[in-house]
Amino acid sequence: MISGMSKPILAVDIDGVISLFGSEEKPDRAFTKLELVDGVPHLISLPCGERLVRLSEHFELVWASGWEDKANFYLPSLLGLPEMPHVSFDGAVAAGGAHWKLGPLEEYGQGRAMAWIDDNFDESCYVWAEQREQPTLLVPTETHRGLEEAHVEALRQWALSLH
């Protein structure tokens, strides 16, 4: 049984949250780094590392991305993060919606409060969040901006409100 004092989970997507895309503007190289992941270029938002470190004071962080265990190979050294557990989607990765993540996220977060930051929620995600017995917060991002300071503050306030 999980203690009522345990931290809530923060499920962290990568594409559109840490790996930015879709901007018409030239990226600011002071805040981004182009990284090849399995031969595919990703524009990594460098401020995300420090933001996630701060969020780890209030949450148990877990990768919730089709990257799965690849996230720990590439991102901790780039962003100054420790390795984090990841949700296994067992080949359920699908384009076009976040709904394919719901079953594995529910199983991973069973009995725990959970926040989930992602760029690709659909209506089924909001229905799922409303119907969960545990407190659940969905935090949508814009793919070209990713995890921003306002998200960090909203997540922090939400985690504090659970106590």
Write down all domains in the chain, each with its CATH number in brackets: 9-161 (3.40.50)
Question: Is a pLDDT exceeding 60 seen at residue 128?
Answer: yes
Question: Is a pLDDT exceeding 90 seen at residue 84?
Answer: yes
Mean pLDDT over 62-91 rounds to 93
The reported pLDDT for the residue numbered 97 is 59
Mean pLDDT over 7-26 rounds to 94
Question: Is a pLDDT exceeding 50 seen at residue 37?
Answer: yes
Confidence of residue 1 (pLDDT cuts 50, 70, 90): very low
Distance CA 81, CA 31 (A): 16
Confidence of residue 2 (pLDDT cuts 50, 70, 90): very low
- Least Cα distance to 117 among 6, 8, 7, 14 occurs for 14
Mean pLDDT over 14-18 rounds to 97
Amino acid at 128: W
Question: Is a pLDDT exceeding 80 seen at residue 98?
Answer: no
Whole-prediction pTM value? 0.92
Question: Is a pLDDT exceeding 90 seen at residue 29?
Answer: no
Task: Report the chain's mean pLDDT, rounded to a whole number.
Answer: 91
Question: Is a pLDDT exceeding 60 seen at residue 95?
Answer: no
Q: Are 6 and 114 in contact (CB under 8 A)?
A: no
